[in-house]
């Protein structure tokens, strides 16, 4: 039976490769094929039906339990209006593939056109290489999304800058089949596990609700980065028209376009993401001490922290922004150092204004950030 399932999956995978090979496309990424590959890969594990309405009520009740604990620790009142959803894996893929497509569709199209001009000017049969590039990245995205759909437990969606603006902002969703799998795999208490998951995601909700400028600022950085990438592609096309051959062929040829402006902006994005993740991790650990099964569940989530999130993978794979696990460990160390030295209320000054955000260097050397903030007083 297992080998029959494996053969069926292989057949469907090869079928989608064939679709890509013989179908025309106007973008670097064939979104329909990538989604189909993700669906095929996600079709594993728990398939038992779940009571969506009852689970949504349960998660809302858990949110009401953890919010006061977070607010009490941080000394900041918080009333959230998050939309709570319970997803299966297919719904998770549809939601996140739609977000990625909306974010990257314009850039993927411009890359595709530049790649056509570049390869046709440099190589005989350049169109074949272009098609190989499309198949490669489309397949990679499909495999990545399909794999993640079997691992993600929950997600706080703060609202990426989307081209179409059709997705709701600021909502929490829980991927129930994966939560059930983890619960059974590690023999965890169902309620305690879900309460910890709610706490974990609520720390992000707190950040973006209490400090609404944070979402706009992060999105502005991402838009600026994508605009610079588009500018680099336009510059490449100008060089091609002049008869230049500025790059050698590789699957991720566009990463070689990134210059000093990109790297400076990348440092700002990385510092902010380190702070967001480190702050969330610190709050989760401290508030989690009030929850049952603390030691056991903390160990479980620390282990899962070693896996990169969807957002990290998007930035790494598609726009060349390297996000390492070490950087998120540094973020937690930064937050813990400041709290130990000056207290949580001093740390919270970080959210008063974007000028208070740490630089990439200050993430490494938090004492420098403390000195700078004290100089404002």
Say how far apart CA 121 and CA 139 lie, in whole Å.
26
Burial class (CB in 10 A: 0-12, 13-18, 19+), 126: middle
Q: Return left, alpha or beta for 178; rule: phi > 0 is left, psi -120 to 50 is alpha, else beta.
A: alpha
The CB density around residue 143, as the number of other CB atoms within 10 Å, is: 16
| Cβ contact 248:255 at 8 Å | no
Q: How many CB atoms lie within 10 A of CB 259?
A: 12
**What is the Rg, in whole angstroms, of the alpha carbon atoms belonging to the chain?**
22
- Confirm if 45 and 150 have CB atoms less than 8 A apart: yes
- 310/153 Cα distance (integer angstroms): 12
Residue 309 dihedral angles phi and psi, to the nearest 5°: -80, 165
**Residue 279, domain extent:** 2-375
> Are 37 and 142 within 8 A, CB to CB?
yes
pLDDT by residue, tens only, the chain of 377 residues? 445 555 555 556 555 555 555 565 666 678 888 888 888 888 755 566 788 899 999 999 999 999 999 999 998 877 766 788 899 999 889 888 887 777 666 665 566 566 555 555 555 555 566 666 677 778 888 888 888 888 889 988 766 555 454 445 667 889 999 999 999 999 999 999 999 999 988 888 888 888 888 888 888 887 887 777 777 767 766 666 666 655 554 444 555 556 677 778 878 888 888 898 889 889 999 999 999 999 999 888 877 766 655 555 555 555 445 555 566 688 889 999 999 999 999 999 999 888 999 998 999 999 999 999 999 86
The answer to whether 180 touches 241, Cβ cutoff 8 Å, is no
Q: In what order do the strands lie in the sheet with 83-87?
A: 83-87, 171-175, 154-157
Q: How many structural domains does the chain have?
A: 1
């Amino acid at each position: 039976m297992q080998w029959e399932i494996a053969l069926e999956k292989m057949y469907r995978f090869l079928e989608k490769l064939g679709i890509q090979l013989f179908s025309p496309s106007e973008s670097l990424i064939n979104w329909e094929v990538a989604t189909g590959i993700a669906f095929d890969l996600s079709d594993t594990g728990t398939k038992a039906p779940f009571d969506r309405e009852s689970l949504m009520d349960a998660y809302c009740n858990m949110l009401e339990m953890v919010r006061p604990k977070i607010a009490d620790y941080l000394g900041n009142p918080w009333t959230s209006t998050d939309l709570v959803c319970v997803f299966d894996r297919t719904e998770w893929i549809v939601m996140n593939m739609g977000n990625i497509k909306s974010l990257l569709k314009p850039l993927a199209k411009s890359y595709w056109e530049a790649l056509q001009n570049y390869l046709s000017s440099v190589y005989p049969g350049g169109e074949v290489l272009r098609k190989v590039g499309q198949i490669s990245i489309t397949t990679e995205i499909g495999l990545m999304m399909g794999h993640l759909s079997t691992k993600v437990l929950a997600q706080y969606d703060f609202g990426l800058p989307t081209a179409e603006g059709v997705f709701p902002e600021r909502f929490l969703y829980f991927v129930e089949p994966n939560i059930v799998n983890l619960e059974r795999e590690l023999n965890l208490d169902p309620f305690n596990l879900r309460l910890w998951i709610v706490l974990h995601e609520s720390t992000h909700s707190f950040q973006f609700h209490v400090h609404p400028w944070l979402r706009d600022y992060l999105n502005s950085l991402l838009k600026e980065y994508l605009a610079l990438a588009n500018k680099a592609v336009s510059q490449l096309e100008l060089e091609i028209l002049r008869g230049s051959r500025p790059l050698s062929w590789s699957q991720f040829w566009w990463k070689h376009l990134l210059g000093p402006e990109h790297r400076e902006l990348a440092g700002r994005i990385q510092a902010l993401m380190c702070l967001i993740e480190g702050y969330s991790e610190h709050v989760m650990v401290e508030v989690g001490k009030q929850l049952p099964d603390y030691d056991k569940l903390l160990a479980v989530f620390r282990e899962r922290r070693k896996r990169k999130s969807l957002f990290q993978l998007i930035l790494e794979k598609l726009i060349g922004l390297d996000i390492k696990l070490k950087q998120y460990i540094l973020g937690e160390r930064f937050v813990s150092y400041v709290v130990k030295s000056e207290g949580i209320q001093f740390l919270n000054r970080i959210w008063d204004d974007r000028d208070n955000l740490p630089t990439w260097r200050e993430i490494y050397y938090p004492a420098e950030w403390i000195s700078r903030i004290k100089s404002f007083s």
